[in-house]
Amino acid sequence: MADLSNFDVNKVSNPNNNIFGLPFTEEESKLILLPVPWEVTVSYSAGTSRAAEHVFNASLQVDLFDGDCKGEWKKGFFMKPVDRKMLMKSDYLRKEAELYIDYISKGEELEKNRFMCKGIREINEGCQYLNNWVYEQTKHLLNSGKLVGLIGGDHSTPLGYIKALAEKHGHFGILQIDAHCDLRKAYEDFNYSHASIMYNVLNEVKEVEKLVQIGVRDYCEEEWNYIQNSNNRVLTYFDKAIKERLYEGDTWKMIVDEIILSLPQKIYISFDVDGLDPKLCPNTGTPVPGGFEAEQVLYLFKKIKQSGKQLIGFDLVESGVGEHDWDSNVAARLLWKMCNLIVKDN
């Protein structure tokens, strides 16, 4: 373990250290954060492929004292370097995806354009490559006894990680904080679209026995029907329903207790920041009016910890990159809480 005798937790963060200014190496750290610089299939605003570096920089402004998880950081948090080859691959395929989305949005027939046929094939192959890369990276870390948090990138990025967790832990549930259901099948013909992540998880990872979605407020009929026909494998707390309950006298505590009770003992948190009120994430890829305050999410995290259930992994995705980096500031503070939460449980 790192020598912390000369590390003053109250001083300004040293930018030569790692995430949150912590002086740990990868080998010394209990928790490893894997940045995944990928945004090939985003369907509105781009930028999230570069979010991890911005969150890293913002993390240097986060105070390390956490009254709910005192000193958990001493177990070590470390963020791996961004893979530049993966970032360049994302940039290249993103340009192809933009051309393809523009083409099909005009009602053009795919079969009549050989260039577009080649493009969609390359995009789907590239996304499969990404899934395999994430799987191999996270599997290695898990087998090394590390806890893992994934930092996106778009919401398609954690599929490989969820598969690696299934091999290690067996059955578990997912708590998804999101403005969207992400239950579309091959949205825009992209097999691994950011809008299809939970469809792909439920289709490919049988160990995920329960998906509980909260904050959803933008979804299509296909996704509604999927939820209704899921035999209770998917439970969705729509944002509108949550707000109406709060307006009519229920407390957030009551709703949080229900959410936690509906989840199995082992929990993975998939946190798309657009589940928050857009004032907290104005540059996320697909912002939607409504959503949670940061304090509501932090209360939920606190109650998960108190429930005795085990957090086995998490992702934080779709953080945007803006002029003043407000998105990264918010994301860094939520990341800090999630890091403390997972090491406290394990």
**Residue 36: which residues within 8 A CB-CB, separation 6 or more?**
52, 86, 130, 134, 150, 151, 152, 153, 157, 158
**CATH, residue 121:** 3.40.800.10
d(CA 155, CA 208): 17
Q: Which domain holds residue 287?
A: 19-345
Beta-bridge partner residues of 345: none
Q: Which residues of the chain have pLDDT under 50?
A: none
List Cα–Cα distances, 79 to 26, 172, 197, 245, in angstroms. Answer: 8, 25, 24, 39
Asked whether residue 100 is domain-assigned, the answer is yes
Asked whether residue 200 is domain-assigned, the answer is yes
Supply the pTM of this predicted model. 0.96
The residue among 310, 317, 312 whose CA lies nearest residue 150 is: 317
The residue among 329, 274, 333 whose CA lies nearest residue 298 is: 333
Asked whether residue 322 is domain-assigned, the answer is yes
pLDDT in tens, 51-67: 999 999 999 999 999 88
For residue 1, what pLDDT is reported?
Answer: 67
Q: Are strands 208-216 and 266-272 parallel, antiparallel or unpaired?
A: unpaired
Considering its fold, how many domains does the chain have in total?
Answer: 1
DSSP summary character for residue 185: S
* Residue tagged 């499969």 (tokens): 128
Asked whether residue 5 is domain-assigned, the answer is no
Please provide the size of the chain in residues.
346
d(CA 221, CA 149): 32
